[in-house]
Amino acid sequence: MTTVSQNMFDTGAELATALARKIADRLSAAIAARGQASLAVSGGSTPKALFAALSKLDIDWAKVTVTLVDERMVGPENERSNHRLAKLFLLKDRAAAAKFLPLFNSAGTAEDVAAQAAKEIDALALPFDVVVLGMGTDGHTASFFPGGSTLADVTDPACGQSVMAIEAPGAGEPRLTLTLPRIVDAGLIVLHIEGDDKRSVLARALENGPAAELPVRAVLRQAKTPVELYWAP
């Protein structure tokens, strides 16, 4: 299992400021080295403050591609869309200049949509420079849900597809998700969680046990670099 570097904060606002700066530094370093950078972000309510802080930072955003770690099978006008969340909270102010690559498209079935999204992800200069993950109290991260229909495939370190579809009892709509290899190859992997409940789940995830029980274990065990935990109450 990879090590977890713990960054603990008293408030979510302090966390958002510090993590935004960390991400900005990594993206700017990538731009300086290669002329471009890539960032994959997660949805939910937790990252809103982070997105707002990051959007104001002085990065050469025109050279940054932003995409999603996972997405629901809904259009960008839907309130549950991660695309919509990113547009509202991240892709504004200075970050409005970034290129955005959504996962959802109109290709047809969830599997067709995933295949089309995978082609577009594969066309990027991989690996990602930064991947920001969240985690649910059920131990899911990305759309690696316990009991997921394709959980074994999306968490396979040898998975050959960059994006796959998955359905699970706790997921609501069918989902699209980056697969494990795309996540664990990232230059910087951040696990951004808030609240004592999630901290307790993470403590369990760091113990022995099957990855299928708490799928965040797949990332913790396969990450190529230490996972950076950012936590606040």
Phi-psi region of 33 (alpha: psi -120 to 50; beta: other; left: phi over 0): alpha
Task: Give pLDDT tens digits for 91-114.
Answer: 999 999 999 999 999 889 999 999
Mean pLDDT within 214-231: 97
CATH number at residue 91: 3.40.50.1360
| Per-residue confidence (pLDDT) for residue 1, from 0 to 100 | 64
With contact defined as beta carbons under 8 Å apart, do 156 and 211 qualify?
Answer: no
Sheet architecture: strand order including 163-166: 70-72, 175-178, 163-166
Could you give the residue ranges of the DSSP H alpha helices within the chain?
Answer: 12-34, 48-55, 82-89, 110-122, 151-154, 180-184, 196-205, 216-222
In which band, very low, low, confident or very high, does the pLDDT at 170 lie, cut at 50, 70 and 90?
confident
Whether pLDDT at 123 is above 70: yes
Question: Cα(103)–Cα(129) distance, rounded to whole angstroms?
Answer: 18
- What is the value of pTM for the model shown? 0.97
Lowest mean pLDDT among 86-90, 113-117, 169-173, 225-229: 169-173
| Per-residue confidence (pLDDT) for residue 107, from 0 to 100 | 85
Whether pLDDT at 83 is above 80: yes
Task: Give pLDDT tens digits for 184-199.
Answer: 999 999 999 999 999 9
Mean pLDDT within 118-139: 97
Range of the structural domain that residue 24 is part of: 4-232
Taking all residues of the chain, what is their mean pLDDT, rounded to a whole number?
97
How many domains are contained in the chain? 1
Question: Cα(90)–Cα(92) distance, rounded to whole angstroms?
Answer: 6
Q: Strand pairing partners for 191?
A: 133, 229
Instruction: State what percent of residues in the chain have pLDDT above 70.
Output: 99
| Nearest Cα residue to 66 out of 12, 31, 93, 102 | 102
Whether pLDDT at 2 is above 80: no
With contact defined as beta carbons under 8 Å apart, do 230 and 191 qualify?
Answer: yes
